[in-house]
Structure 1
Amino acid sequence: MQVEARGLTFEVAEGGPADGQPVLLLHGFPQDRREFDLLLPRLHAAGLRTYAMDQRGYSPGARPSGVRSYRIGEAVADVPAVLDALGLESAHLVGHDWGAQVAWAVAGRHPERVRTLTAVSVPHPRAMRLALRVRPSQRARLAYFPVFRSPAAERLLLGGGALGMRRMLGRIGPRADLYVKAMREPGRLTTALNWYRAFRSEDLADLGEITVPTTYVWSDRDGVVGLTAALRTADWVRGDYQLVAMRGVGHWVAEEAPRELADAVLARIGV
């Protein structure tokens, strides 16, 4: 369905029992709401109502012009506005990659709108800042960041039959085709990359402790986030907290290990 919020139109896939507890799912780059497709049947079977949302830059009706429109604060503000449009006072949040970054900030700045948080892959921003300061290996893991911010990023990712994007998504096999095809839509890759181009480290530097019940899911084959950031996330959660560490799983958790991720989400929600 289409949801109008903040003058934009977001694509949202809803499913599960109409009277179930609401779960809002926020995807990462270069995926979209379909990254949760393998997860949703378990959530629906548990009686949950899900809303998987294409975020700004991905929904055709939510692609404002200008890099500044993709500052993380704008994406954070989208979430309560979408909840309002859906008639929801609060929801369980599940976010991966950039979606996790947004979910952390929503939980920190709008805790009354968040029943529980399950953040996947990306840790609390303050834990990441610490890891970047003390671990050269963590800085090396984010070496792709300036590449994605560069004017050449579109060509590097989609050129040569989208070899760059296919290599990045190699662990999810044929499902990579879904996202390659979508990113060939005119303008979509640029607005998705604008999240990187707009981001400033100070945007989330003041994010404090998270008070809502929280699970952080980290995987040991994740090339983006190292162990230090994962472990130090506990320093920034005051609510009930669990770290779920997955072995042999890479960055694309929802598609590499959907059953295990569903278990973590259901355990956090308590159903």
Structure 2
Amino acid sequence: MGNNDEQPLPINDDETVQNIAIKDIKANPYQPRKTFDEQRLEDLAGSIKNHGILQPVVLRKTIVGYTIVVGERRFRAAQMAGLDQIPAIVKTLTDEEMMELAIIENLQREDLNAIEEAEGYRKLMDDLNLTQQQVAKRLSKSRPYIANMLRLLHLPISIANMIKDGRLSGAHGRTLLTVKDDYQMKRIAQQAVKEAWSVRYLEQYVNEHFGKKNETNSKNQATVKPKFIKQQERQLKEQYGSNVTIATRNKKGQITFEFTSEEEFKRLIHQLNEKYHRDL
């Protein structure tokens, strides 16, 4: 039903639902979402008029009233529906816990796009001083997944906007990042939107024009890579959450780890050091 589209905090048996006056409730200052779709709010307000609020909001008691922790859409829609009170559960939380829950609730939106998702992960890391591994654990996701999503934040703004408005997907964005050159990236993105390229077609295009071409011009690329080398590249990529290239020439070789930020560089060094000490 319309008013059940937000993911609530778990409610324990000993948590009492109270009716709290809407006039005593203030918005969450840590809410990362600043704009709300008016039409969807009106739809939710209509649902609330007909069925009431089925899932209580979560509040924190303050000196002068209450602050929303989870359920700001329901709160806004209840105001539009003309309600004087709203069912709520009051929790005791620190500022840090409020901030974390607001970001996590925002990450659980059904209409979240890949850029907004990546921005949510980055905000958790920056505001709460968390590592990628800690964010992954809190959200029950793999660390490589978090790392791959964060890579989208390195896209040019124009391409990020294409993902935000649905013209391209996050997978399109990750494929475009392999192009490296911003001008070429933007040109290809515009063409992909204009001709409605699938992710697979985009991958083929990028590999043909920027992958194999680069390999042909590379001094290190004398022959096609053996199958076992490609397997090792895939295994290392999965293990370290980073693109890995293995090049061999004249009985010598080189393993290259790709990173796109200082934070990713530090994480890779930490992982490699841990592996080294475990193997001693």
TM-score, with structure 2 as normaliser: 0.23
Where relative contact order (Cα < 8 A, 6+ residues apart) is larger, the structure is: 1
Q: Which has the higher strand share?
A: 1
User: Quick check: which has more Rg, 1 or 2?
Assistant: 2
